[in-house]
Structure 1
Amino acid sequence: MGYTVSIWLLAALTALHKGYGQDPKVTIRNTQPTTFLELQGRVNEKVINAVRVQDVTMSCYVEDLGPGMLVRWRKTYKTSNNEVGQVFISTDLAITDNTKYSVEKPTDYTWRLRVRDTQIWDEGVYECYVQLTELSVAHDTRIVRVLVPPYLTPAMVSPDTTVTEGEDINLLCNATGRPEPMIEWTRLGGAVLPNGREKHMGGMLPIRNVHAKDRGQYRCHVWNSIGQIKRDILLDVKFQPVVTAGNNAVVYQAPGYSTTLQCFVEANPAPQQGEMKWAKGSLSYTVSTQKYIIRTIEGAFDRLTYEMIIDGVSEEDYGTYTCHISNSMIDGPSVRQNVRLAKSAEPVSSPKVGRVVKAGEWQRRFKGLLMRTNGSTSCFVVSSISTIMCLVVILL
């Protein structure tokens, strides 16, 4: 049966119910859930909205019931072929299906119907009536509708998904429910959707030519008048490294003082140790020594900082350094970013510690961890000037 009961269905019932004379008065009262009036066309119909599996009760109060007259319940419904069907439920206290229905008589004038465990097929027009003549009855009716909270169909909801930059992807979040649920897409953290909007309505969110900036959590919010569901879907995007120097493309320092060269990286998957290096001319710097300290500082959201601390700048250190970054998404040459170390007349404060760092101070801070250990490679947690860091050291 459809979501609403057509007016013509009630009209068809009413046409059967016309009669004359002193008739019993039939009134349905005290329904659970509560009856409300709903305008259908030009008529206010009496409607009960029940949540699926909820019991529905309707008390039928009958006055002036004549001798030999019986109180009955029946349901009229619309079939899938748009025809009228009927289910005769009870005569007085006798039930046709005692697994679905029961009738109680709490008073001499009340016949209370209970519809157990309501399902969608229980929708229809429920009628308490007394047969007066072959063609006329005294009656009252209620339209019973069954509501269903939103339900996500597992096969039609996207799992956490990984794509490569440039591909197309459709994120799915299909739901059922009565009334039909609304479906809204947003991104966590207040970011806009790939289409440039804050929200998108519908069970599918299409993303064309996926960019790295599209990665993150997407929220599907599904709701109707009786419930809601939220489902978060992670979109992971694999992309080649993006490397910048930020505001540090040129770094100034006087001889004899320490400085830090940095490049800022976004990449997924993250570069491995052998996929990163600093270079100056024919020289490569991939592991730490006592003077040149290589650090990788991991950040959130596929970001990292790759830096080289020069613990005591000398004349031969000035010039242009190149940060080389690669990952498994690159078949050819690595991504490169130049950083120039320029000579200054006065020592420059380190932004990390807010003061000038003299040559050798890093070595003293590391407390002798840069030691010879038979050529092995070790990772130490050491106390530096401003942070706790893990150094990958080739021990000479």
Structure 2
Amino acid sequence: MSCAMLRHALALLLALLWKGPSSAQAAEFGHLPDNITVLEGESVVLRCKIDEEVTHKAWLNRSNILFTGTDKWSLDSRVSLVNNNNSDFSIKIEQVMVADEGPYTCSFQARNQPRTAHVYLIVQVPARIVNISQDTSVNEGDDVNLFCLAVGRPEPTITWKDFKYDLMNEGEFLEITEIKRHQAEEFECITNNGVAPPDTRRVKVTVNYPPVITEVKNMPAQLGKTAILRCEAMAVPTASFEWYRDDRMPVESDNTLKIKNEKTRSLLLFTNVTEKHFGNYTCFASNRLGASNASMLLFRKAGCDVTGRERGQLLNLYRMCTGPGAVYGGAVSLNGRLSGVGLWFCLSISVLMKV
């Protein structure tokens, strides 16, 4: 600092401390607001209004001199003088930081009469989540503890939202005791301090549990036809499936039977049912947490199974029952005879033809 600047600063400070007699001609200062609020990263202008020429003027931040007249004392490149005339002595702070918060003083001297005006700069910071639990996978019955940390000025609130049940919990921590499978979902952390829109982030909680078979159904089938046995199982992680026959032998795919495994179920597809397919089948579903099994029956469908030759013979009999002159007076004629027995016989043939 040069000697001239040092003498100038000392003279100014002594003048500000000196309480001389009041004068009606002294410069009048505009009243600065008690507080000025600005968002972090924005710019702010601190204005000091006067209506008379003064001999000395300065801006101070706490005990640090920023400007004396047009001389800049601050080494901060973000601080600049924007007006310096008989009516306005204003400074500008760009890219405001939290460290800029605090008291600022505009000081003048006119006719040996010091005047000061004070303003307090408040720096606000939007609420922001800075740390949060990672997505987690737990076993059913475990305790779950989630955290969400946020910063902001003023101090932000933190709320946890449960989407499935539309519940809200206040605070940085969310605790779930002995979690159940139906509680698996995404939990949202919301932080807000009214400065900007809330900041939100989500944590996904996966609950693992052993398989539970939910669909078991016996299935009727006909020889030569198709049939399906289904096994549904809910599990996390997804279950793997195996099929067994009555003798506990594993079921394997062949040209008449295929096993199709999907995400939550397994299918036994019989493309051409034969006598050997009828019987009891057991579905076995498992994951690393456990296993479950259920049995179901593939059984012969009620009715008569007929061969191609038998069907041809039945067709000839059917024509006798349904041909010209077969129906007379509400009775059925068989080989020219009318009888109730013939009616029963023809009805039986009709049933067999529809099998």
2:262 aligned residue (280, 283, 297)? 297
Q: Does 1:149 align with 2:126?
A: yes
Contact 1:241-1:267 at 8 Å conserved across structures: yes
Residues in 1 aligned to 2:246 and 2:25: alpha-carbon distance in whole angstroms? 112
> In structure 2, the residue corresponding to 1:121 is in which secondary structure?
helix
Contact 2:246-2:279 at 8 Å conserved across structures: no
Q: CA distance change for structure 1 residues 268 and 19 in 2, over 3 Å: closer, same or farther?
A: farther
Contact 1:277-1:284 at 8 Å conserved across structures: no
1:350 matched to which residue of 2? none
Residues in 2 aligned to 1:55 and 1:346: alpha-carbon distance in whole angstroms? 90
1:280 aligned residue (231, 245, 253)? 245
2:151 aligned residue (168, 176, 196)? 176
1:321 aligned residue (273, 281, 284)? 281
Q: Does 1:206 align with 2:183?
A: no
Residues in 2 aligned to 1:23 and 1:117: alpha-carbon distance in whole angstroms? 36
Contact 2:129-2:200 at 8 Å conserved across structures: no
Match of 1:326, as an amino acid? Answer: S
Q: Which of structures 1 and 2 has the bigger CA Rg?
A: 2
Residues in 1 aligned to 2:139 and 2:111: alpha-carbon distance in whole angstroms? 76
The number of aligned residues is: 283
Match of 1:23, as an amino acid? Answer: A
Q: Displacement, 1:185?
A: 2.6
Q: CA distance change for structure 1 residues 25 and 252 in 2, over 3 Å: closer, same or farther?
A: farther
Contact 1:25-1:139 at 8 Å conserved across structures: no
1:244 aligned residue (214, 217, 222)? 214
Q: Displacement, 1:146?
A: 0.9
Query: What aligned pairs does 1:60-75 form with structure 2 within 5 A after superposition?
Result: 60-66=48-54, 68=55, 70-75=56-61
Match of 1:101, as an amino acid? Answer: V
Contact 1:185-1:199 at 8 Å conserved across structures: yes
2:225 aligned residue (235, 239, 257)? 257
TM-score normalised by the chain length of structure 1: 0.62
> In structure 2, the residue corresponding to 1:60 is in which secondary structure?
coil
2:164 matched to which residue of 1? 191
> In structure 1, the residue corresponding to 2:179 is in which secondary structure?
coil
Contact 1:185-1:220 at 8 Å conserved across structures: yes
Contact 1:75-1:124 at 8 Å conserved across structures: yes
2:82 aligned residue (77, 93, 104)? 104
**What per-residue deviation string (whole Å, max 9, x for no partner) do you get for residues 223-272 of structure 1?**
33225433232323332112210xx5343444443222112222233344
TM-score normalised by the chain length of structure 2: 0.68
> In structure 1, the residue corresponding to 2:252 is in which secondary structure?
coil
Contact 2:28-2:52 at 8 Å conserved across structures: yes
> In structure 2, the residue corresponding to 1:25 is in which secondary structure?
coil
Match of 2:184, as an amino acid? Answer: R
Q: CA distance change for structure 1 residues 287 and 219 in 2, over 3 Å: closer, same or farther?
A: farther
1:42 matched to which residue of 2? none
Q: Displacement, 1:133?
A: 9.1
Match of 1:268, as an amino acid? Answer: V
Contact 1:75-1:125 at 8 Å conserved across structures: yes
Query: What aligned pairs does 1:153-172 form with structure 2 within 5 A after superposition?
Result: 153-154=130-131, 157-172=132-147
Contact 1:320-1:339 at 8 Å conserved across structures: yes
Q: Displacement, 1:104?
A: 3.1
The two structures, once aligned, show a CA RMSD in angstroms of 3.2
Q: CA distance change for structure 1 residues 54 and 62 in 2, over 3 Å: closer, same or farther?
A: same
Structure in which a larger fraction of residues adopt helix:
2
Q: CA distance change for structure 1 residues 160 and 19 in 2, over 3 Å: closer, same or farther?
A: farther
- After TM superposition, what 4+ stretches of structure 1 lie above 6 angstroms from structure 2? none
2:37 matched to which residue of 1? 49
Q: Displacement, 1:206?
A: 1.2
* Larger CA deviation: 106-115 vs 166-175: 106-115
Q: Displacement, 1:174?
A: 0.8
Residues in 1 aligned to 2:141 and 2:211: alpha-carbon distance in whole angstroms? 14
Residues in 2 aligned to 1:19 and 1:326: alpha-carbon distance in whole angstroms? 94
Contact 1:263-1:323 at 8 Å conserved across structures: yes
- What's the % identity of the aligned pairs? 22
Structure in which a larger fraction of residues adopt strand:
1
Q: Displacement, 1:65?
A: 3.2
Q: Which consecutive unaligned segments of at least 5 residues does structure 1 have?
A: 1-15, 30-44, 77-85, 299-303, 348-396
1:123 aligned residue (101, 112, 133)? 101
Q: Displacement, 1:285?
A: 4.0
Contact 2:245-2:280 at 8 Å conserved across structures: yes
1:91 matched to which residue of 2? 68
Contact 2:70-2:84 at 8 Å conserved across structures: no
1:306 matched to which residue of 2? 266
Q: Displacement, 1:56?
A: 1.8
Q: Displacement, 1:209?
A: 1.1
> In structure 2, the residue corresponding to 1:21 is in which secondary structure?
coil
